[in-house]
Amino acid sequence: MIDGGKKNILGVCVDAVDYQAAVSRIIEAGLRREPFAVSTLAVHGVMTGALDRTHRFRLNSLDLVAPDGQPVRWALNWLHHAGLSDRVYGPLLMLKVCERAAERDLPVYLYGSRPEVVSKLEVALRQRYPRLKIAGSCPSQFRRLTQEEDSEVMRRIQDSGARIVFVGLGCPRQEVWVYEHRNALPMPLIAVGAAFDFHAGTLPQAPAWMQRVGLEWLFRLICEPRRLWKRYLLLNPAYVGLLFLQWSKLHVLRPSDGIASSAAYREG
């Protein structure tokens, strides 16, 4: 098990962890009924914090930020000698947490995505893990919620008996939601990105070989060019350039430069 603590990657504190450490920390928080905010970040996620100091503060306030993308793992190994042999891929982390949650009798809750995706996801998870308790689900409204609506969502999650919440609102909305609701819910809140669609079978995953060599972004770009071209064709080169500047110490983005925001987001 590797848990090397938080390391600065372009101003974002990313945890140098493997799957075993990440799952262990999540399950322990679920058993203790403690707030525990989690995200897994690929290049795009790291860059949202690097370019936005308010979002940087949010990300650096999370309890666990795992290296979802291979380029993020490579950066941890290159800049901080983390010794990570694999990334912590959000969709796979979700499955590993579900497996352990089933073993430890910890009910889970699904928040986000579209109704049809959540419905298919519930079926898929129950087929894979027959002992897993799904306490409830709530699809996204794809808009900002009123304070009353947001409070109702919190009440539904609390009353469901859930001990772990998976959040699939897309980056960076899901990280904002986890940050904003961390202290409102005494349980792990895990932002898992496209995991809902992947496991529901509504979005294809990149072949394993493309994932291993860090080309998952290319597969997703081919699948969704109109939506993702700016994310990958602009942010990927910027990520490499900023990493070089950090390595050379010519320009280092620092976690302490984040700016706190008191405005409520209430994405739903």
Is residue 184 left, alpha or beta, with left meaning phi > 0 and alpha meaning psi from -120 to 50? alpha
Backbone angles phi, psi at 65, to 5 degrees: -125, 105
Q: How many residues does the chain have?
A: 268
Backbone angles phi, psi at 105, to 5 degrees: 60, 45
Q: What is the pLDDT along the chain (268 residues), one digit of tens a residue?
A: 999 999 999 999 999 999 999 999 999 999 999 999 999 999 999 999 999 999 999 999 999 999 999 999 999 999 999 999 999 999 999 999 999 999 999 999 999 999 999 999 999 999 999 999 999 999 988 788 888 888 899 999 999 999 999 999 988 999 999 999 999 999 999 999 889 999 998 888 888 888 888 888 788 888 888 887 777 788 889 999 999 999 999 999 999 988 887 656 566 6
Would you tell me how many other CB atoms lie within 10 Å of the CB of residue 175? 28
Tokens, residue 23: 């799952």
* pLDDT value at residue 222: 87
Gap between the Cα atoms of 157 and 51, Å rounded: 33
Residue range 28-83, pLDDT digits in tens:
999 999 999 999 999 999 999 999 999 999 999 999 999 999 999 999 999 999 99
Q: What's the pTM value of the predicted model, to 2 decimals?
A: 0.92
* pLDDT value at residue 187: 97
Strands annotated E in the chain: 3-9, 12-17, 36-41, 64-67, 108-112, 134-138, 164-168, 188-191
Q: DSSP letters of 15-37?
A: EEE-HHHHHHHHHHHHHHT--EE
Q: What is the CA radius of gyration of the chain?
A: 18
Q: DSSP letters of 157-199?
A: HHHHT-SEEEEES-TTHHHHHHHHHGGGSSSEEEE-TTHHHHH
* pLDDT value at residue 21: 98
Strand partners, 109: 136, 165
- Whether the bond into 172 is cis, omega within 30 of 0: yes
Gap between the Cα atoms of 195 and 167, Å rounded: 9
CB 164 within 8 A of CB 185: no
| Amino acid identity for residue 80 in this structure | H
Gap between the Cα atoms of 98 and 64, Å rounded: 17
Say which DSSP state 129 is in: -
CB 109 within 8 A of CB 37: no
